[in-house]
Amino acid sequence: MSNNNSHSAGDMFLFWGCFVALITTAFAFITRAFLVNTPTLWPAAFGLDAVQGQELFGAGIWPFAISIIVFSLIIDRIGYKTAMIFSFVCYAVYAGMAFMAHGIVTGADGDALAEAQKKAYGYLYGGSIILGLGNGTVEAFINPVVATMFHKEKTKWLNILHAGWPGGLVIGGLLTIMLGDQAANDWRILIYLIAIPAIVFLIMLIKATFPVNERVASGTSYKEMLAEFGGIGALFASALIFGQLGQVFGWSAGLTWGIIALATVGYGLYCKSFGRPILIFLCLIMMPLATTELGTDGAITGIMEEPMTVAGFHPLWVLIYTSAIMAILRFFFAGPIVKKLTPIGLLILSSVMAIVGLFFLSSAQGLMIIFVFATIYGFGKTFFWPTMLGVVSEQSPKGGALTLNAIAGIGMLTVGIVGGPLIGKMQEDSVAKKMNQETYSQISSENSYLLGNYTAVDPSKVAELGEEKAGEINEEVKLAKQGALANVTVFPVFMLVCYILLFLYFKQRGGYKPVEIDSNTGGSEA
C-alpha cells in the first residue's frame, strides 16, 4: 500500500469491491423488510402474523451486531479474504433455506399446510440468522480494509464507503417497487435480487490482495489491541451481546449476568487494562447516536407514510428519499466538509441539525412541511455513523479491527435492546399524557420491558369501540406519538454536549489530529 495520499488502481478496485459488498447488505435489508411486511408475500405464503413477521426481521438484525464484534477479534488471524468468502456463503445459505421453505409449503393444503408452514418458518428463521451473520461479517472486513488503505484520510473514505448502504437502499427500493407485481406471483424474485451484488463483490474480491491492517503492520501485539478496548469496553460489549442472546434464548437474569461478569473479568485480566478513556467515552456516545439515527427512522417513516399514501405514493418512497440524501452527501461531500470542519466539527453540526429536525417534526403537519423537517433531520443523521467510525479509527489505531467494528456493534445492539424500545415507550408515554384520561384507561393495558413497566394503547380494545370511534382514537394516538419526537431530541442533545467537550479537549491539545502508530504502515495479505 502506498504511504502517500495517491491511491493505486488496485486500492480503488478493492475499495469498490467493499462498496458493492455493503450494497449487498442494503439489498438484503430492504427486500426482507418488503417480504415480511407485504401481506401478499411471506405472510400469505407461510401464514405469518405480524409478530412472526417481525421476529423473522429481527432474526436478521441481532446476529449482525454479534458477528461484527466476534469477527473483529479474529479477523486479523483468519484474514479479510476468508471473512469475505464466509459472508458470501452466508448469502448463499440464506437463499437456499428460503427456497427450501418455499418447497415445503408448495402443494400443501388443509392440516398439512399448517404443519408445512410451521416447518418452513424454522427454515426462514434459521436462514435469517445466517443472513445477519453474513451482513455483520461484511462490515467486519470492509471497515478495517478501507481504514488501512486510506489511513491518511480515514473519516473521508469511511463516509464514502458507507454511502453504499443508503445507495443500496435506493437501488434496492426502486427495484423492489418495480418488481412488486412479479413478486406477488413469486416472491423468490426478491431473493434473486440479493444475488446480483453478492456475486459481483465475490468476483471482484476473490483474487484481490487485501492490505495488512495498520495495527498488525506496525507490530502492535494482539494483547495491546485488546487493551485499547479494555475491561470497561468489554463490559459494554458483553452486556449487550449476552443480554441480546439471553432475550432470544430465554436465559435467566442470573445466568445472563454471570456470563457477562465472567467475560468481562476474563477479558480485563488478560489484557490488564480498563481501556483508553477517549475510546470508552466514544462508546458511550455511540449508544445515543445509534438510537438517534436508527431508532427514530421507524417513527419518522411512520409519520410520513400516511401523507405519502394519501398523495398516491408508495410508502417505500419515504425510505428511498431519505436514503438518497444520505448517499449523495456521503459520497460527494464528505471529503470537503470533513476538511473544512474536522470530524468533531462535523459531528457538532450534525447533532444541531438532528435536534432541529426532530423537534419541528414533532408538530409538523402536511406533506411539504414534514418533508422539509425530515430533510433537515436527514442531513443531520447522514454523517453520524461513518464519521464516528473514522474518529475511533483515527484516535485508536492500535485497536485495529476490534475497536473500529466493536463500536459499530455496540451501537446496533443498543438500538435493538434499549434504544428502540425506549423510543417506543416515549411514544406511549406521550399518548398517555395527551389523551383524555377516561378514554385512555379504556383502551390501554400495562406491559413491561427491559427498563421497567409501561402502559400502552391496546389495538384490540380500540377496535371494540366501533369503526368510527376507533378511527378517531387512532388518529389522536398517531398525533400524540408524533409529539414524542420532541422528547427524542434528548439523545442528540446529549451527543452535542459530548462533542463540544471533545472539541475543547482537542483544542487544548492543539486541534484535532489523527494518531499515527507507524509512518511505514504497509504490507499486504494475499
Which pLDDT band, with edges at 50, 70 and 90, does 1 fall under? very low
Q: What is the mean pLDDT of residues 359-378?
A: 87
Task: Write the class of the CATH domain 276-309+336-514.
Answer: mainly alpha
Which of 175-189, 340-354, 509-523 is the most confident on average?
A: 340-354
pTM of the model: 0.89
Q: What pLDDT score was predicted for residue 526? A: 43
Is residue 120 over pLDDT 90? yes
Please tell me whether residue 60 adopts helix, strand or coil conformation. coil
Domains 9-212 and 276-309+336-514 belong to one CATH topology: yes
Q: What pLDDT score was predicted for residue 302? A: 67
Q: What pLDDT score was predicted for residue 408? A: 93
Is residue 518 over pLDDT 70? no
Q: Which of 362, 388, 360 is nearest to 289 (CA)?
A: 388
C-beta of residue 198 within 8 angstroms of C-beta of residue 91? yes
Please tell me whether residue 209 adopts helix, strand or coil conformation. coil
C-beta of residue 388 within 8 angstroms of C-beta of residue 407? yes
Instruction: Give percent of the chain with pLDDT exceeding 90.
Output: 60
Q: What pLDDT score was predicted for residue 51? A: 72
C-beta of residue 161 within 8 angstroms of C-beta of residue 386? yes
Is residue 209 over pLDDT 80? yes
Is residue 371 over pLDDT 50? yes
Residues 62, 86: Cα–Cα separation, whole Å: 18
Which pLDDT band, with edges at 50, 70 and 90, does 318 fall under? confident
Instruction: Give percent of the chain with pLDDT exceeding 70.
Output: 94
Q: What pLDDT score was predicted for residue 411? A: 92
- Domain ranges for the chain, please list them: 9-212, 276-309+336-514
Q: What pLDDT score was predicted for residue 442? A: 87
How many CB atoms within 10 Å of residue 242?
Answer: 22
CA–CA distances in Å: residue 58 to residues 371, 476, 520: 28, 29, 43
Q: What is the mean pLDDT of residues 211-223?
A: 90
Is residue 214 over pLDDT 90? no
C-beta of residue 222 within 8 angstroms of C-beta of residue 73? no
Residues 262, 267: Cα–Cα separation, whole Å: 8
Q: Which of 296, 198, 239, 209 is nearest to 417 (CA)?
A: 239
Residues 94, 71: Cα–Cα separation, whole Å: 19
Is residue 374 over pLDDT 90? no
C-beta of residue 371 within 8 angstroms of C-beta of residue 313? no
Which pLDDT band, with edges at 50, 70 and 90, does 6 fall under? low
Mean confidence (pLDDT) of the chain: 89
Is residue 131 over pLDDT 60? yes
The CATH superfamily label for domain 9-212 reads: MFS general substrate transporter like domains (1.20.1250.20)
**452 φψ region: left (φ > 0), alpha (ψ -120 to 50), beta (else):** left
Q: What is the mean pLDDT of residues 178-199?
A: 92
Q: What pLDDT score was predicted for residue 2? A: 39
Q: What pLDDT score was predicted for residue 418? A: 81
Q: What is the mean pLDDT of residues 48-59?
A: 83
Which pLDDT band, with edges at 50, 70 and 90, does 67 fall under? very high
